[in-house]
Amino acid sequence: MRKQNSGRRNPVNGRGGITHPPQFTPSFMVHKKLRFQAVAASPVGGSAIFSKGFGDLWCVAATATSAYQIAHYVRLRKVEMWGPMGSTLAPVTVAIDWTGSTQFGGFGKSNRISDTSIGASQCAHLVSRPPANSQISMWLDMALASSSQVCVLSYPAGTIIDVTYDLVVRDDASSVAVTGAVVGAVVGANYVRSLDNITAANLPPVSLSTI
């Protein structure tokens, strides 16, 4: 004897279950790694990286001299650095100092991570994540982000820096302009700015268009 289906059937398509479209999340989130290379050694005191700078990284040009952030929210995952040895094989050091991690009012500790090269085959290499409970390790609204210092990077010329972060793409009509001058941009084109774009341009992106 055939077992009857006691569930309600969809009057439209004859299938069981709900009769209206299920909920969904329209926000577009991206998990992204960007690579940068130092065109010169870090300045005395290191290269300061700021909160708003993470929103500026990926932008779209509105005119030849203006560009706007694509990211609405940003969450930093980790920073990885490789410092090349000099021709004399003198040791070099790369370092990240998270002393700015609590400037947003978060509760992350301030700490410094460093590594030094040795010999001909061991480059300086470090991997570091934002301190737990620091605000940059959580979702940060780029429309409200100030230019508060997140960390300071120290490195020799030629250092490779990978930044891994999450971003929610802006889905409203508001626009947040990037910091600093924009020159020679193509309207509608996407660009990635220097990692230290708030104060300098010592860390341009690798294999990506920049302004």
The rounded mean pLDDT for the chain is: 85
Distance between CA atoms of residues 137 and 129, nearest Å: 8
Q: How many CB atoms lie within 10 A of CB 131?
A: 18
Q: What are the structural domain ranges in the chain?
A: 29-76+97-113+129-192
Provide the 10 A C-beta neighbour count for residue 146: 10
- DSSP-assigned states of every residue in the chain: -PPP--S-B-TTTS-BS-SSPPP-----EEEEEEEEE-SSPPPTT-EEEEHHHHHHSEEEEEETTEEEE-EEEEEEEEEEEEEPPPTT----EEEEE-TTTTTTS--PPP-EEEEE-BTTTB-EEEEE-PPTT-GGGS-EETTT----EEEEEE--TT-EEEEEEEEEEP-SS---BPSS---SPPTT-EEE--TTTTT--SSPBSSS---
What span, in angstroms and rounded, lies between the C-alpha atoms of 53 and 163? Answer: 12
Burial 68-80 (b: 16+ CB within 10 A, else e): bbbbbbbbbeebb
pLDDT (tens digit per residue) in 63-88 = 999 999 999 999 999 999 999 987 78
- The pLDDT assigned to 162 comes to 98
Residue type, 24: F
- Which token pair is 139? 């979702």
Q: What is the band of 13 on the pLDDT scale with cuts at 50, 70, 90?
A: low
Q: Is the confidence at residue 201, as pLDDT, over 80?
A: yes
Distance CA 13, CA 209 (A): 49
- Among 92-101, 115-124, 158-167, top mean pLDDT goes to 158-167
Mean pLDDT over 122-144 rounds to 87
- Model pTM? 0.84
The Cα 168–Cα 31 span in angstroms is 9
* More confident site: 144 or 75: 75
- The pLDDT assigned to 136 comes to 82
Q: Which two tokens stand for residue 145?
A: 């982000």
Residues 121-133, mean pLDDT to the nearest whole number: 90
Residues found in the chain = 211
